[in-house]
Chains A and B, each alone.
Chain A
Amino acid sequence: MQFSKFIPALAATALMGAAPLASAQVKIGLTGPMSGPVALVGQDQYDGFMLAVEQLGGKLGGQVATILKEDDQLKPELGNQIVRKLIDKERVHAIVGLGFSNVVMASVKPIVESGTVAIATNSGTSPLAGAGCAANIFSTAWQNDGAPEAMGKYMQDKGIKNVYLLAPNYQAGKDMLTGFKRYFKGNIVEEVYTQVGQTDYSAEIAQVQASNPDAVFAFYPGGMGVNFVKQMSQAGLLPKLPVYSVFMVDGTTMPALREAAVGSVMGMMWDSVLNNPENNKFVKAFVVKHKRVPSEYAAAAFDAAQILDVAFKKVGAKLDDKKALAAAVKAAGAEIRSVRGPFRFNNNNMPVQNYYAFNVVKEGNQVVTRQISVALANHADAYSSKCALK
């Protein structure tokens, strides 16, 4: 008899025996678009979250954490399936990420019914901020209207008169332009919604040229943003025509844009150049580990991990008490030192935070982002009064 034949069997038995000992005590499901044109958005959230977990020694709230990574492929029905799987089969203690606004909205029902804590790090839709708010759904990213409201106020204060608006035709696109119009009181030359995932904007750009506005305000995340900005630059519009945007010129798109982005102004609750001690540490650690600059999605996920760490510590052994965990998460919002500056959860679990204005300039032969101002300080969203939560 050969002993070598027994080795795999012995190893398997040993592993099986070891399995219950190695089982993690905290289970988190992290979902987002991990493939396709916006894959970097999902990947940044995962990397940001894991960086925080790693810095906490692989633990959240002092307990070993298992993170399950799921790809929703930007498909609402798939997002719904994944969320139900995480809640019913995997019995996770919290779900982080939740993907783009359209995917989030498809997943709300199972999350609310189960009471599982869910933290969005990619969106903050107006229904969830208003009448549809839930005690166990949070956002550590933003309320969708926030960044465009900041840009609207910034442009209003600057005295810009005629603005051309562009966004893709889905919930977030509509939210962005609604938020912009809430604070910008000048003349809207045109409001154009393009197909989600559209790659060629030559037709729309020709229209912009013909209308001759004072400025353009656009929302095009991920690959759409790269295409739009590049094409605006090639048509000779950037930097002659100021382009104000949200989620279009950020960590996920700058490596592909470089010079093409010079002259644009962005509004966001965070950027890698934000100068505070927590952020400097975070950006440095992220760059060293992943060889790329993080985006606002990574920052949102990093903060989500910190919040969960504080919340799990609060509930201690009573991890499965979903109501207590949700309450702990809500309180934890104000207790962390966020990389974006001041942060806390509003009554509707949306962030109350600063929104800054940044611009992209050329210094020497380097393309850099600079903070211009704090466009809106400690800004709460416009829907909180419609939410019944305290």
Chain B
Amino acid sequence: MSLSLILSQLLNGLQFGVLLFLLAAGLTLVFGIMSFVNLAHGSLYMLGAYFAATAYNQTESFTLAVLAALAGCIVVGMALERLAVSRLYGRDHLDHVLATFGMMMFFNEAARMMWGPQPYFLPVPDMLSGTVNLLGISYPSYRFAIILVGLLVAVGAHLLMHKTRLGMLIRAGSVNPTMVGALGVNIKLLNAFLFGLGAALAGLAGVMAGPILSVQVGMGEPVLITTLVVIVIGGIGSVSGAFYASLIVGIVDTMGRAFLPTLLRDMMSREAANAAGPALASMLIYILMAVVLALRPQGLFPARRT
């Protein structure tokens, strides 16, 4: 188990974490501020990838594909918010789950009808198709680019939340939404914008993931589940919590999958390790979530509530 292997797995974990952050940021804000459980978030991620793949197949330009994904997801997100989500704000979380689960199935079928069941082709842009030399290991440039984009988004999100008036309104809304509305802020527009922003981030995650994962119907579900784990561990409503938690989950999951089977092989027979290794590795993040919920149910980095 060489140092370079550990380092490259750490980078893989970081990349996975950053992708999770793009999704978790939108999900946690919507959950925290509008108290709305949005299971359709994974579908927005899928739509981002599909819009990008379609745009790429028409124009052969990755930049246009990214723009198409962002624009498409913002439009779908805001439309969804105005048409369906805003009607459910005051309701029980279970109603949200039912409604957004239905939306998820609707989007899956709609995608299958529009684009067909086969996986779509979205290539890595040419200038990122090589490898970079990082600390002695050669790492795929595209995955490194994902890490950079994700960190940029994290910095941008921090600046937005803490240095702008809009960010102040969002933070205030996460603590006491009724008061913010009572103080004369157009809370409806703020909510629509917030939902659109979350959708845009999900779409960006979809575009970034498209070249490495296959663009197909149902690609949002496995990622959605991991994102929910992230926001529970990080603390609902807290973007910084989502950031730290997504990095933790990304690294734990990747390192677990990479090294747990090898560790098990030292302890038990090859057959048993081959069977138990992958199963245990995939359970790791859920065990982590259970431990966090047991010891600190509000999450590791919760948003401060008055």
Query: Which residues on A are within 8 Å of B, measured CB to CB?
Result: 34-37, 39-40, 43, 169, 191-195, 197, 199-200, 202-204, 206-207, 209-210, 222-223, 226-227, 230-231, 234-236, 252-253, 255-259, 292
Contact, CB under 8 Å: B275 / A35: no
Which one of A234, A236, A292 contacts B118 once the chains associate, using CB atoms below 8 Å? A292
Q: How far is the CB of B246 from chain A (nearest CB, A)?
A: 14
Give the size of the chain B interface in residues (CB under 8 angstroms).
46
A236-B124 contact, Cβ under 8 Å, with A200-B16, A202-B143, A202-B254? no
- Inter-chain CA distance A204–B261, complex, in Å, is 11
Is B59 an interface position by the 8 A CB rule? Answer: no
List of B residues within 8 angstroms of A259 by Cβ: 123
- Inter-chain CA distance A89–B258, complex, in Å, is 48
Q: How far is the CB of B125 from chain A (nearest CB, A)?
A: 11
Which one of B120, B222, B278, B282 contacts A199 once the chains associate, using CB atoms below 8 Å? B222
List of A residues within 8 angstroms of B120 by Cβ: 256
Query: Which residues on B are within 8 Å of A, measured CB to CB?
Result: 2, 4-5, 8-9, 12, 15-16, 108, 112, 117-121, 123-124, 129-131, 138, 140, 142-143, 211-219, 222, 254-255, 257-258, 261, 270, 274-275, 277-279, 282
A253-B218 contact, Cβ under 8 Å, with A199-B213, A202-B254, A234-B142? no
List of A residues within 8 angstroms of B215 by Cβ: 256
Contact, CB under 8 Å: A230 / B214: yes
List of B residues within 8 angstroms of A191 by Cβ: 270, 274
Contact, CB under 8 Å: B117 / A210: no
List of B residues within 8 angstroms of A235 by Cβ: 131, 140
The contact sample of 9 A-B pairs, CB cut-off 8 A, is A35-B108, A37-B219, A39-B117, A191-B270, A193-B277, A199-B214, A204-B257, A207-B258, A256-B119
Which one of B142, B212, B214 contacts A256 once the chains associate, using CB atoms below 8 Å? B214
A193-B213 contact, Cβ under 8 Å, with A203-B258, A223-B119, A255-B118? no
Which one of A197, A207, A258 contacts B121 once the chains associate, using CB atoms below 8 Å? A258
Contact, CB under 8 Å: A202 / B12: yes
- Inter-chain CA distance A74–B213, complex, in Å, is 20
With both beta carbons as reference points, the residue of chain B lying nearest to A206 in the complex is identified as: B8
Q: How far is the CB of B27 from chain A (nearest CB, A)?
A: 19
With both beta carbons as reference points, the residue of chain B lying nearest to A40 in the complex is identified as: B118
Which one of A193, A230, A258 contacts B212 once the chains associate, using CB atoms below 8 Å? A230
With both beta carbons as reference points, the residue of chain B lying nearest to A225 in the complex is identified as: B214
- From B119, B215, B218, B222, name the one whose CB has the most chain A CB atoms within 10 angstroms: B119
- Inter-chain CA distance A186–B282, complex, in Å, is 31
Contact, CB under 8 Å: B218 / A37: yes
- Inter-chain CA distance A194–B279, complex, in Å, is 9
- Inter-chain CA distance A73–B167, complex, in Å, is 44
Contact, CB under 8 Å: A226 / B214: yes
- Inter-chain CA distance A195–B275, complex, in Å, is 10
List of A residues within 8 angstroms of B222 by Cβ: 197, 199
Q: How far is the CB of B137 from chain A (nearest CB, A)?
A: 9
Contact, CB under 8 Å: B140 / A256: no
Contact, CB under 8 Å: B257 / A203: yes
Contact, CB under 8 Å: B212 / A200: yes
Contact, CB under 8 Å: B124 / A234: yes
Q: How far is the CB of A240 from chain B (nearest CB, A)?
A: 12
List of A residues within 8 angstroms of B138 by Cβ: 236
Contact, CB under 8 Å: B112 / A234: no
List of B residues within 8 angstroms of A234 by Cβ: 124, 129, 140, 142-143, 211-212
